A = this chain, B = another copy of it.
Amino acid sequence: MKIIKLNLKKRSYNIVAGSHIIGLLGGYIKKLNIGRDAYIITNAAIKSRYARVLERTLRGSGFESRLKLIPDTEKSKSINIAASIIADLASYDKKRKVFIIALGGGVVGDVAGFVASIYKRGIPYIQIPTTLLAQVDSAIGGKTAVDLAQGKNLVGAFYQPRLVFSDLSFLETLDLKQIQSGLAEAIKYGIIKDAQLFSYLERNLGDCLALKTAPLEFIVKRCSYLKAKIVERDEREEKGIRTILNFGHTIGHAIEAAGDFKRYNHGQAIALGMLVACEMSKRLSFIQDNILARIEKLVKAAGLPAKINKISLAKILKAHYRDKKFLGKKNRFVLIRDIGKTKIVENIPLALIKEAIASRSS
């Protein structure tokens, strides 16, 4: 088990990662002194697997709890679902001191964190990520959000959890697509910040896909550490530091939206977005062919797509222009200079963006 501290002064918290550690959770929460009533937001599939063990550890440490189920779909990231959670939470909350537990993947974590941020102007919450993607990335760093018809994550808050608790044993029941999605983000961390992690992934990807605990645990701990160090330096993405986490996400989100969130899941879209960003980096002579080839090989080895299939360039660009990362009239991309090294570039000509997307379209 490893404890990584994310230092943000009064908003500091621990990321606890290890295998079969859920039984220790109650004790960790108790030390936080955030109340005694847990409002657990999750979905039906996760409830059937983990709710009992979670409730047991909570009860064992003197907590009461209530479960709130939301549909297991990206559509749960809506203002309506958030409002319905809040109405239920308010009815549970009478004369209690409630904190929220987000038990699930990225969707549960985003909407639960958003609810925690706005209910009573902010109540404490804990992230218990159950997917590889959430453990390596989305559960950490306090970005919470819901989607609008006009675009993903357009409504939200920067609101830090009080604890991130990643039990590797939860990954055992993931299907291949979910593991691949998480690997896409892990590959991202290698590309933007950690050439050694990238090499590790090149050597151990097979074992990850086979759900072996040791390499997955290594990846979760390493990515958690990398994300913590980035978030510490730029919590609200104001200094161009946290920005690098958006590598592959600018075009990735557009691909995801253009495919109506059906053709590609988040990890697949991000894999494609990263390759588009690499194509842009190559065309601007920041990297040579061999770097792009190495990244493409790893993406493919993870079973992630390397070509955009059956989504028009026009549709991707339209979705792209809705992206909230547009500042004023400038565009802004995270590109790379090498594996482990990024470069933020603004005002990239539309022709070059189009060319990069086209080169990755089949």
Closest beta carbon of chain B to A332's beta carbon, Å: 12
Contact check: which of B91, B119, B155, B326 meets A95 at CB < 8 Å? B326
Taken together as a complex, chains A and B put the C-alpha atoms of A155 and B86 apart, in Å, by: 8
In the assembled complex, A282 has its CB within 8 A of some CB on chain B: no
- Give the residue of B79, B86, B121, B158 whose beta carbon is less than 8 angstroms from that of A121: B158
A157 vs B83: C-alpha distance when bound (angstroms): 15
* Copies of chain A in the complex: 2
Q: Would you call A314 an interface residue if the criterion is a C-beta within 8 Å of the partner chain's C-beta atoms?
A: no
Q: Does A210 contact B (CB under 8 A)?
A: no
Within A134-154, which residues are at the interface with B (CB < 8 Å)?
143, 145, 148-151, 154
Q: Which A residues, 111 to 126, have Cβ-Cβ distances below 8 Å to chain B?
A: 114, 117-122
- Tell me the smallest distance from the CB of A73 to a CB of chain B, in Å: 19
Within 8 A of B (CB), among A311-361: 321-322, 324, 326-329
Q: What would 11 more interface pairs be, CB under 8 Å, given A119-B154, A120-B154?
A: A86-B148, A87-B148, A90-B148, A90-B154, A119-B155, A120-B155, A120-B156, A121-B145, A121-B156, A121-B157, A121-B158
* Between-chain CB contacts (< 8 Å), 11 pairs: A80-B83, A86-B155, A87-B148, A90-B154, A91-B150, A118-B155, A120-B154, A120-B155, A120-B324, A121-B157, A121-B158
A35 at interface by CB-CB < 8 Å: yes
Q: Which residues of B contact A154 (CB under 8 A)?
A: 86, 90, 119-120
Using Cβ atoms and an 8 Å threshold, which residues of chain B touch A79?
Answer: 79, 82-83, 86
Q: Name which residue of chain B comes closest to A237, CB basis.
A: B121
CB contact between A97 and one of B35, B97, B327 (< 8 Å): that residue: B327
Quick check: is A310 within 8 A (CB to CB) of the other chain? no
Interface string of A140-180 (1 = CB under 8 A from B): 00010100111100111110000000000000000000000
In the assembled complex, which residues on chain B have CB atoms less than 8 Å from the CB atom of A158?
A: 121-122
| CB of A96 within 8 Å of the partner chain | yes
Residue of B nearest to A155 (CB): B118
Q: A residues engaging B (CB < 8 A)?
A: 35, 79-80, 82-83, 86-87, 90-91, 94-97, 114, 117-122, 143, 145, 148-151, 154-158, 236, 321-322, 324, 326-329
Note all chain B residues with C-beta closer than 8 A to A328: 35, 95-97
Residues of B close to A90: CB separation below 8 A: 148, 150-151, 154, 322
Nearest chain B residue, comparing its CB with the CB of A98? B328
* A266 CA / B79 CA spacing, docked (Å): 28
Q: Quick one: closest B residue to A142, CB to CB?
A: B121
Q: Is the CB of A118 within 8 A of B156?
A: yes
User: Does B95 lie within 8 Å of A121, measured CB to CB?
Assistant: no
A328 to B35, CA, bound (A): 8
Identify the closest chain B residue to A95 (Cβ): B329
Asked if residues A94 and B322 are in contact (CB atoms below 8 Å), the reply is: yes
In the assembled complex, the Cα of A86 lies from the Cα of B80 at a distance in Å of 13
> Which residues of B sit under 8 angstroms from A322, Cβ to Cβ?
90, 94
- Which residues of chain B are near A96, meaning CB under 8 Å? 328-329
Give the docked Cα–Cα distance between A145 and B119 (Å). 9
A86: B residues at CB distance < 8 A:
79, 148, 154-155
Whether A157 contacts B95 by the Cβ 8 Å rule is: no
Q: Nearest CB to that of A115 among chain B residues?
A: B155
